Structure 1
Amino acid sequence: MTNGRMALSRRSVLAGGMVLGAGAILPGCKPVMSGLLTGADAHPGDYPTVRAVEFMGRYLDEKTGGRLGIRMFAGGQLGSETDTLEITSFGGIDFNRVNFAPLNSIEPMTLPFCLPFVFDSVAHMRRVVDSEVGDEVMASLEPHNLIGLCIYDSGARSFYNVRRPITTPDDLRGLKIRVPASDLYIAMVNALGANAVPIPFGEIYQSLAQGVIDGAENNWPTFVGERHYEVANYLSLTQHLLTPEALVMSKASWERLSRADQLLVREAAKASVVEMRRLWDIRVDEAKAAVAASDVAVNTVDTEPFAALMRPVWDQFITTPAQQDIVRRIRDMREG
């Protein structure tokens, strides 16, 4: 090791044989975290969330004189989000960026952030996650051996397809729409009259091109970055989901930090949110420009008829008073 850093193989991380950064344990002493900590992200290396955690690593490196840093394993190198969440909870990965959707099966208090049309805008979502509501939802992860550090953007998701513009829910009727393997996403799309088709993310382009599916839904950067706009000629701005993303830390790794370093990690995470949003907004603007220069027909949507169909979905997934309270407080933070 040089200056607290060592090379890692994927096998050593996944085996959990070492939690990178765990310092030597001396007899009678509490272990102290030092070195280069691991970070996992399913997004590619140039994605805003990856770059934000790398920013966080540089922040830690500078503040500790090189004693702490972060090495990112992007692009799903360490597995799917579901896989890396489990590894993180056991202490095999230090930091993990995941969408809130995979957290739903772990902690019910994360479900309100994933409801369709619960957020009115990106500004509304950011206001909520930066408030005590965001803090409470992230704190609910600790019993699951995860420390919630901060919340990133995942953009506004809209429908795109190869058939026609979507202006009312009736336009979705009968269309085969790809969704992630999520009970909530499936219920949402089916409630809108379409046929939800859960297929892996990496198969969307080919499935659109071959007619296996008629459409999908995602944010601007994904629509462009994954080249879906080359085969789906209609983008309808339903903005039905603004599900954020979470940066979590292994509780085992967290407890090896000194109190001062824990405070520093939270400080670095908070600073990384500002950087992530800056990068995200740039990425969205670039994607919009690319679509404007393409043959894609983009249409705005009156979202009220779509949102009106979501009440049964909300009732299906929001079942406890604590969840209902979070939803109420989210809605109370709308503009106007």
Structure 2
Amino acid sequence: MKMKRKYITALSTVIGTSLLLAACGGGSTPTNSGSTTTPGAASPAAATKKADGPKLNFRLAETHPADYPTTLGDKKFAELVNQASDGRIKIDVFPASQLGEEKAVIEQVQLGAIEFTRVSTGALGGFNKQYEVFSLPYIFDNDNHQWKFLESEQGTKLLDSLESSRMKGLAYYSSGARHFYSKKPIKSIADLKGLKIRVIQNKVNIDLMNALGANATPMPYGDVFNALQTGIIDAAENNYPSYFSSNHFQQAKNLILDQHQRVPEVLLISKVAWDKLSADDKALIKKAAIESVKTQKAEWDKFEKDSEAKVKAAGVTITDVSDLGPWQDAVKPVIEKYRNDYKETLEAIEKARK
């Protein structure tokens, strides 16, 4: 009888403890020994891991319109993060400069007031000197050459270097080639002489305009349309999608396809926000950023072709440059001026050409 009572008491204790652990969500994860899992279904442990942690709500600032390729990339990124976290992490995308222009947004991101943004590497040059390298002219032959570099060890190293500027680089986005457009006809380098041309504010861009005989006029992207309309500037430079989506083609109907720069975009997070994340959430966000690149690149290719067709239909005078040699020769002094500053990166870009 005594043995029987002891057995019943012990059994009751085990059952009680098990129920308590179940109620509290405690206990160890069962092993997979002897169990089966439906193909494609998340294991109970994986599902719990995705839902673990606090609910987080973040903002992502974007200067371009809602249908622009970078914005669509942002939205895909936010969607992937939401899915991977089972809705625990929500990122709201604010397009069309709702949260401010690039420079102001970057400053807010550094402070942690805005968690995410997508910005041009041209704008980042004012906050991290190493990013000015992307403003150097004709350092990339084409998009394939550029992406070969961006996906290289040195490209990754540049993303990581943003941590010293209180930001964390997550991924690069496509931005195509940049061209000049003007209220006056542009057929050659000589036609740029004396023109007031809007540029992204950094030292390399100013030196580039000087080398071409133009007058650099730095200003926020959102101010360019009115500046063209009122004559504050004579010209600007950008890629086909920006030229079209910003309606700059309505004010500057002369476009020359000189391809002087290929300035990629960067999707990034505030270092303040990044440092508060768990290791699992960091991995989840980084993975989603990289996966969103495929969508952004595909949307870019489509939008670029569509933009080209629409500006042609609008009556824009387009001049193709069959020989880039004279343009490249004119700006060589700019590259040489900065070669020592960006020696490692320029060598990696040259290596990616092979």
TM-fit CA distance, 1:285: 0.9
Deviations 1:187-230 (A, max 9, x none): 11121112223344334334434444332211101211122222
Residues 1-336 of structure 1 aligned to structure 2 (within 5 Å): 34-167=55-188, 169-301=189-321, 302-320=323-341, 323-334=342-353
- 1:33 and 1:83 mapped to 2: Cα distance? 29
Q: Is the 8 A contact 2:123 2:200 kept in 1?
A: no
Amino acid at match of 2:311: V
* Greater per-residue helix proportion: 2
- 2:279 and 2:217 mapped to 1: Cα distance? 47
TM-fit CA distance, 1:175: 2.5
- 2:180 and 2:215 mapped to 1: Cα distance? 13
Q: Is the 8 A contact 1:127 1:333 kept in 2?
A: yes
* More displaced 10-residue stretch of structure 1: 307-316 or 215-224: 307-316
Larger Rg: 2
Amino acid at match of 1:151: Y
- 2:69 and 2:101 mapped to 1: Cα distance? 18
- 1:194 and 1:271 mapped to 2: Cα distance? 40
- 1:151 and 1:83 mapped to 2: Cα distance? 20
Gap change, CA 1:112 and 1:156, over 3 Å in 2:
same
Q: In the alignment, what sits opposite 1:17?
A: none
Gap change, CA 1:153 and 1:33, over 3 Å in 2:
farther
TM-fit CA distance, 1:309: 2.1
TM-fit CA distance, 1:241: 0.9
Measured on the aligned residues, the alpha-carbon RMSD in Å equals 2.0
Amino acid at match of 1:242: R
- 2:83 and 2:55 mapped to 1: Cα distance? 14
Could you tell me which runs of 5 or more consecutive residues in structure 2 were left unpaired when the two chains were aligned.
1-51
Q: Is the 8 A contact 1:112 1:318 kept in 2?
A: no
Structure 1 outlier segments of 4+, above 6 Å: none
* More displaced 10-residue stretch of structure 1: 263-272 or 120-129: 120-129
Deviations 1:154-195 (A, max 9, x none): 22110112222323x223222232223332222111211122
- Partner of 1:140, secondary structure, is helix
Could you tell me which runs of 5 or more consecutive residues in structure 1 were left unpaired when the two chains were aligned.
1-30
TM-score (norm 2): 0.79
Amino acid at match of 1:147: K
Gap change, CA 1:40 and 1:204, over 3 Å in 2:
closer
- Partner of 1:154, secondary structure, is coil
TM-fit CA distance, 1:311: 2.6
